[in-house]
A and B are shown apart, each in its own frame.
Chain A
Amino acid sequence: MDWFVINLLNGVSYGMILFLIASGMSIVLGAMGTMNLAHGAIYMVGAYVGWTVAVKWGATFGVGLLAGGLSAGLVGLAIERGLLRRLYKQPNEQVLLTFGFVYILTNLCLWIWSGWPRMPFTAEFLKGSFEILGRAYPKARVAVILIGLILGVGLWWLQDRTRMGAIVRAGMDDKETTMGLGINLERAFAVIFFIASFIAGVAGVIGAQLLGVRTSLGLEVLLLALIVIIVGGVGSIQGALLGGILIGVIDSFGRAVFPQLAMFTMYFTMLVVLIVRPAGLLGRKV
């Protein structure tokens, strides 16, 4: 029983990070039709800046979180305003451009922070553990679940309860009409892209205790985001949350039950979902 609970908690906390990674990419893909392959690299920038501020400079974890989020958000905003905004509805060019930024951001991180991987880190007050069912369970993992839930509710509120969210949803359904109504979609897109990158950066700092901080993150995180988006469906916070937690839990139990088949359970789940529901569990109709 406690074996089950521990693995479930592990899975959910991992899933929360997956959710944070994928939510931004999914919304950008759904709302703007932009395939941002640099999303994982933006996550990595957040992770490195968070490490520098929180560990190297010794600021509090909260400041590191904010710094990671803001730096990632600004990098994302710069890419969107500088280049991507000229490429709406041109998926080929978007792919080439954002893939170029995978190379560029990865190498810049290598340049600035050099290649050695950083130890996983977390907030001072989150070190140590709780007692759950007679077993020690790290506080930091529980905190990840809570932070994920808070951010998730916040994002859902932004999506379903605010004017900005309404504009985004309207833009997804019918871009021309939305613009015809005098709504400034360009600005909305810039804001979405900033928020998506910001969340990725925050995820980078929170996720550092699980995924570490290293230069291979750019591609690894992109892979994870794609998997979650496939399972959950493109374009909604709920989809990313469901997909993230499902993949997190399945991966956690997969590793516990078939340790020799790393990753395989994840990909297998993805394939089953694709065959049964090609648009993902909570995806919009293809």
Chain B
Amino acid sequence: MEIERRQPEQGRLLGAVPYVGAALILAIIPFFLSTYGEGLMTRFLIFALFAMSYNVVFGYAGLLSLGHAAFFGAGGYTVALLKLHYNVELFWISAPLGVLVATFTAALFGIIALRASGIYFLLVTFALGQMLYSLTWNVKWFNSPGMQGITGILLPDLAIPGFTLDTTSFYYVVLFFFGISFLLLYRLVRSPYGRALVGIREDESRMEAVGYDTWLHKYTAFVISGAFAGIAGVLFTYYNFFVSPNHFGIMTSFLPMVMAIMGGLGTLLGPVLGAGVFIFVENFSSIYFRARWPLVLGGLFVLTIIFAREGLGVYLWRLWARASHRHERIKS
């Protein structure tokens, strides 16, 4: 089901207001936050990007993947391995290579995974992700000496004279990439290509009959999605200073899935909202409820399913639409 409504031409400028407002808030918010709050916002933006990337393959193309961590991890591990083995800290080398490796991994895995469909697609993507997990777990080259994972990663060197990144400026780096990715994905899902993906999700055989190469559409969606997950993985490694095999693990694959479903699949802002709810509820419930935070988070998933089945984003949008509609009626 298509959620967003086509707006009349004059409403288009008005429609951009919430986006511009959100961008402004994101741009100035570090001035009002402690270092801790800043870190939390950085984390939120990275996972929002991760969830948005997952949304392309699942929300739009309708492919339920349980191995999205593979691309997140591939990006992150590339950065970490470059630092560990070649002492490369330059952002302009590490980051593009990380995204490239993630994209290449997705290109390879996509060929294997798209041989299957439905629930088998889920199982295959899961298997491929787990392969990388056990590879990084077992092979010494993927680990710092004497431990599981790679440590000693620092904030990247941007090679701008007289400027070193601190956590605040790193927040803006993340925000920059989040913004660029958001705009690119915005263009993507509203292009004829994005429409075709939705068509494939809704009725693949019909799209095939109309003459679309559905395999190629799904494959490119898978690869594009992997590339953006790679960006998130690269940024997360810089943020976290540490990578471990768990970056490839099933838990990491669940995160964007749960965030996207909770926020609203197949909508652009839904996964962002879902990531926000997830990250902030996880954080604050672990402060206020201590060891009971998983109960809060799990309970939230269950409540979302009961009360806002299409996702919190869609639910709020409906509420808003109903409220504004009522308002108009009262005026007239």
Question: Which residues on A are within 8 Å of B, measured CB to CB?
Answer: 29, 33, 35, 83, 87, 90-93, 95-97, 99-104, 106-108, 110-111, 219, 222-223, 226-227, 229-230, 234, 260-264, 266-268, 270-271, 274-275, 278-279, 286
Contacts and interface: CB of A to CB of B under 8 A. Distances in A.
Interface in B277-332: 291-292, 294-295, 297-302, 304-306, 309
A108 B126 CA distance: 27
Interface of B: 58, 64, 112, 115-120, 122-124, 126-128, 130-131, 133-135, 137-138, 250-251, 254, 257-258, 261-262, 265, 291-292, 294-295, 297-302, 304-306, 309
Contacts of A107: 291-292, 294-295, 298
Nearest to A101: B298
Contacts of B262: 96
B278 to A, nearest CB: 11
A136 B262 CA distance: 54
**6 A-B pairs with the lowest CB-CB distances in the bound complex, closest first:** A100-B301, A103-B298, A104-B298, A107-B294, A103-B294, A100-B298
Nearest to A268: B131
30 contacts: A35-B119, A83-B302, A83-B305, A92-B265, A93-B305, A93-B309, A95-B261, A96-B261, A96-B301, A99-B301, A100-B300, A100-B301, A100-B305, A102-B298, A103-B297, A103-B298, A104-B298, A104-B302, A106-B294, A107-B292, A107-B295, A108-B295, A223-B250, A229-B123, A230-B124, A263-B134, A264-B134, A271-B128, A274-B127, A279-B120
B120 A267 contact: no
A227 B291 CA distance: 31
B275 to A, nearest CB: 14
A87 B305 contact: yes
Given A99-B254, A264-B138, A274-B112, A104 B299 contact: yes
A35 B112 contact: no
A99 B258 contact: yes
Given A271-B127, A274-B112, A96 B305 contact: yes
A136 to B, nearest CB: 31
B130 A275 contact: no
A32 to B, nearest CB: 12
B124 A223 contact: no
Nearest to A100: B301
B134 to A, nearest CB: 5
Instruction: Give the dominant DSSP class at A's interface.
Output: helix
B258 A96 contact: yes
Nearest to B261: A96
A234 B137 contact: no
A95 B309 contact: no
B261 A270 contact: no
Contact of A219 (B119, B251, B298): B251
A111 B119 contact: no
Contacts of A260: 138
A262 B133 CA distance: 11
A275 B250 CA distance: 20
B67 to A, nearest CB: 11
A35 B262 CA distance: 17
